[in-house]
Amino acid sequence: MKIFIGISLALLFLSGLVVGCDSQPAGTPVPAPTVRAPVPVETPRVETKATPAPVRPTAAPTRPPEPAATPRPETRPYYEGKTIEMVVGSAAGGPTDMHARAIGMFLPKYIPGNPRVVIRNVPGGSGTVAINNIVEKTKPDGMTLVAGASSSLNNQRIGLDIVRYDLRNIKFIDSLSRAESLLFIHKEALPRLTNPSAEPVVVGSREGTESWQAMPLWGREFLGWNVRWILGFGGTSELELALQRREIDMFGTADASIPERLKAEGLIEVIGQMGSLAKGKWPPRPDYPDVPVMANMLMDKGIKGVPWDAYRGWAAPGSALDRWLGAPPGTPDNIRNILIDAVKKMEKDPKFDDLVKKTITPVYTMNYGDDILEVVKELLDSPPEVVDYPLQLQKKFGIIK
C-alpha cells in the first residue's frame, strides 16, 4: 500500500512539471529555437622533437695525439744584405782584373743571400800593394777579398822588400789557370834579339816578377838574348798599348787573344812559350804546337842543378796559381766554404764559361781552397839557393837593385 502511494505522488509531481513548461495559451505560435554557430575550437599545437640518433661509443686511442711541431725560426743567410769588395792587384783590363770581374758578376747568384759585389783596383808591385793591404788592414769576415796572380808567389820567393804577406796564410778560394804564357816580340825588333852589338830589345813589365818573365831572364843568361827591361806598367792592357806605340818590343801573357790581335795587325811574332809541366815533360799549348817551349830550349842547352830547379820553381806556379781569389788570414772556414761552394757552382754555369772563354782565355782549369795552398807551400819551401837564384839574375840585369 505504501509503495503504491509513493509511486502515485511521483507521477503527479512529474505531470506538474510538464504542464508548467507548456503553460502558453492555445493558438500562440511557438518561436523556433535559436541555433548558435559552433565556436571553433583551436587544436593545440604539439611540437615534436627529432629523436637523436644513438651515439656509438668511440674506441679509445691507443696513444695520445702528438703536439703539432713548432716551426723553427729561419736564420738569415750570412751574406744577405751585405756587400763583398774585391780588391784587384792590377789595373783594369788585364787578366787578373778580368778574372775578378767574371767572378764578381756571377758570384752573387750562387751565394745564399745574394750579396752585392764591387771591384776596386789597387795596382802596384805586381799585386803586392793590394795583398799587403788585405793582410794588414782588413777584417777577416769574408766581406773583403783579394784577386792576385802567380807573380805574388814569385815576389815572396825572391824576398822583395815590399812583401809583407805570407801566401801560406791566405785563405784561397779559387784559381783560374790558363794555358801557359806566350812570349812575343815586335817584328822590327826580332833581328836585334840575338845580335849583341845591336840596340837591346826592350821587355816591358810591371815589376819584372811575372811568371812569364822567366823566359827573357833565362833567355838572356843561357840563350844569349840581347834584352833589357822597362818596368812600371799597370797591367797587360798597358803593355799592349806600349808595344803598339813602339815604347817596348816584347812582353808575354797567357791570354792568346792579345798576341792574336797583334798578329792580325802585323806587329809581332810569337817566339816562345812556358809550357805546362806534366809528368816530367813540358808539352806546348794545343793552340801553339809549333812555338818552342822555353823549358825544352834550356834542357837542350844542358841546364841542370840550381838554375834548372829555379826555372822550374818560377815557371810552375802558373799551373795552379795563375789568377787567384783569396780571403784575409784568419777568415773562418765556414765563411770561406760558402764562397768556395758558390764558385764551384758558378764554374758549371754555361754563361760563366762563355764569358771566361771570350774575355780571358779559351782554355782554362780551376782549382779550389787547400789544393792551391799545397802548391804554394811546396814552392815556398824550396831550398834557399834555389829561391835566391832568380833574385841574383834580376840584380845582375838591373831589374832590381
Q: What are the grid coordinates assigned to 363, written together? A: 782554355
Tell whether the model's pLDDT for residue 384 goes beyond 80.
Answer: yes
Name which residue leads in pLDDT, 381 or 221. Answer: 221
pLDDT at 95: 86
CATH class of the 83-179+319-383 domain in this structure? alpha beta
DSSP string of 140-196, one letter each residue = SSSSEEEEEETHHHHHHHTT-TT----GGGSEEEEEEEESPPEEEEEGGGGGGTT-T
Tell whether the model's pLDDT for residue 11 goes beyond 90.
Answer: no
Name which residue leads in pLDDT, 277 or 318. Answer: 277
Mean pLDDT of the chain: 83
Helix (H) or strand (E) holding 345: helix 333-347
Model confidence over 248-301: pLDDT tens digits? 999 999 888 899 999 999 999 999 998 776 666 788 888 899 999 999 999 999
Model confidence over 146-175: pLDDT tens digits? 999 988 988 888 788 899 999 999 999 999
**What CA dihedral angle connects 142, 337, 347 and 109, to 10 degrees?**
-60
**Scanning the structure block, which residue is given the C-alpha cell 817551349?**
293
**Scanning the structure block, which residue is given the C-alpha cell 769574408?**
142
pLDDT at 194: 96
Going by C-beta distance under 8 Å and a sequence separation of 6 or more, which residues neighbour residue 105? 117, 352, 355
Cα distance between residue 137 and residue 4, in whole Å: 154
User: Would you say 258 and 236 are in contact if contact means Cβ atoms under 8 Å apart?
Assistant: yes
Domain ranges of the chain: 83-179+319-383, 182-316+386-396
Q: What is the architecture of the domain spanning 182-316+386-396? A: 3-Layer(aba) Sandwich (3.40)
Comparing 83-179+319-383 with 182-316+386-396, is the CATH topology the same?
yes
Name which residue leads in pLDDT, 132 or 287. Answer: 132
User: Would you say 252 and 210 are in contact if contact means Cβ atoms under 8 Å apart?
Assistant: yes
Residue 323, strand partner residues: 149, 176
What is this structure's pTM? Answer: 0.62
* Residue 394, helix vs strand vs coil: helix
pLDDT at 379: 83
Model confidence over 35-63: pLDDT tens digits? 444 444 444 443 444 444 444 444 444 45
Q: How many CB atoms lie within 10 A of CB 19?
A: 8
pLDDT at 230: 96
